[in-house]
Amino acid sequence: MGIRSLVLLMLLNSLTYIGPVYAFRWVGYAPSHPWQPGQIADSALVWQDLETLYAYGFRGVVTYGTLDSLCRVPRYARAIGFDSIIMGIWIDTDMTVNRQQIEWALRTHGPADKLCVGNEALFFGRCSLAYLQWAMDTVRISTGKPVTTAEHWTMYHHPRYRNWLLQNCDFLFPIMNPTNEGITSPRAAALWVKARFDSIATLAGDSLSVLVKEAGWPTGSRDSAHWSWANQFCQDTFFCLLDSIGDTNQLRFCNFEAFDGLWKNWGPEESCFGLFTSDRQPKLFAQRLGQVVGEKESQGYRSSVPHQSFISDARLLNSAEPLTIFAITGQKVLDIAAGTCLHLAPGLYFVCPTKPDGPARWKLVVIR
């Protein structure tokens, strides 16, 4: 092992120490504004997105693709302290792009625990069963990790696809957004999700676990007639009810989704499913999660990641002790003396006292 790899390993190990964790909560993630498909996801943007989600109590994250530099999301999530990461590989009608998605996943899957190949690829006819099986087998054999695909909940009952999904998925990952099914009462929707979950769990038996990939509620609509139910109050009610059901029953689901996706233009509510606005402002339910996290911290719980500092003016000011700065790759950048005012290029850095008194106190710094 080279010195750079050794340093990087030491840095990553320093980010994970045993400590109390909050209730396990999953979230589906695509970057916040101004990212959209086809654009490179800025490192600082992704990092801040994930840190925001972690600060509000999310400990599991699901991604949807690997292109546009999104292959870095699992690595960042692991460094921040997420407990479980499912890496998504988008499958569409362009086989060349699909191969690129798969290749990037095979190169960068290390921090991910599981992989999901395709998102409603069968439901929308983006590929054949044979092609999807080839893609899933390729990823499973190459990574040695559990692999699944995500499909609309009806596909798990469809006579053509049911047995195939049960036989070829290492866990089941159904999608069930109730408002897309015409259910606009939050209480009825929560019970509907639980009933759909139970029906699929019954099919899976004891051999396969079930995690709902998408259970979400929009907070706005381009159709004003929908505002009576497409709002933050109904979203808050829906997720609170799901949490209540999950506390007393075996219901596992991902909150869909992290941030409003302003680029989604194929439905009047599609851009408004975020628990946060497109610029990371918490909506009503996310505010509730933040209050819970704050109460736990005030009761003596500790975060499982070290202190992190975000510096917007590209400077490190007036350190009380000498510091050593490493790049995110583990390569040493430089040593700086106490009290130094320093300009750094934009990026992610590890900072540690040059001569630590006791265990090294690593800090992650984002220069924007």
pLDDT in tens, 246-274: 766 789 999 999 999 999 999 999 999 99
**Residue 101, CA distances (Å) to 64, 77, 91, 94, 340 in order:** 10, 19, 8, 11, 44
Global pTM exceeds 0.85: no
Tell me which range, 283-297, 334-348, 352-366, is most confidently predicted by mean pLDDT. Answer: 283-297
Largest CA distance in the chain: 69
Residue 102 has pLDDT above 90, yes or no: yes
The candidate with the shortest Cα–Cα distance to 14, out of 98, 81, 109, is 81
Alpha carbon 123 to its chain's center: 23
Q: What is the 3-state secondary structure (H, E, C) of 245-309?
A: HHHHCCCCEEEECCECCCCCCCCCCHHHCCCECCCCCECHHHHHHHHHHHHHHHCCCCCCCCCEE
Q: Mean pLDDT lowest for which of 60-69, 201-210, 223-232, 297-306?
A: 297-306
Q: Which helix (H) or strand (E) holds 363?
A: strand 363-367
Taking the C-alpha atoms of residue 306 and residue 308, their distance in angstroms, rounded to an integer, is: 6
pLDDT tens digits, 162-203: 999 999 999 999 999 999 999 999 999 999 999 999 999 999
Q: How far is CA 161 from CA 193, 273, 343, in A?
A: 21, 28, 57
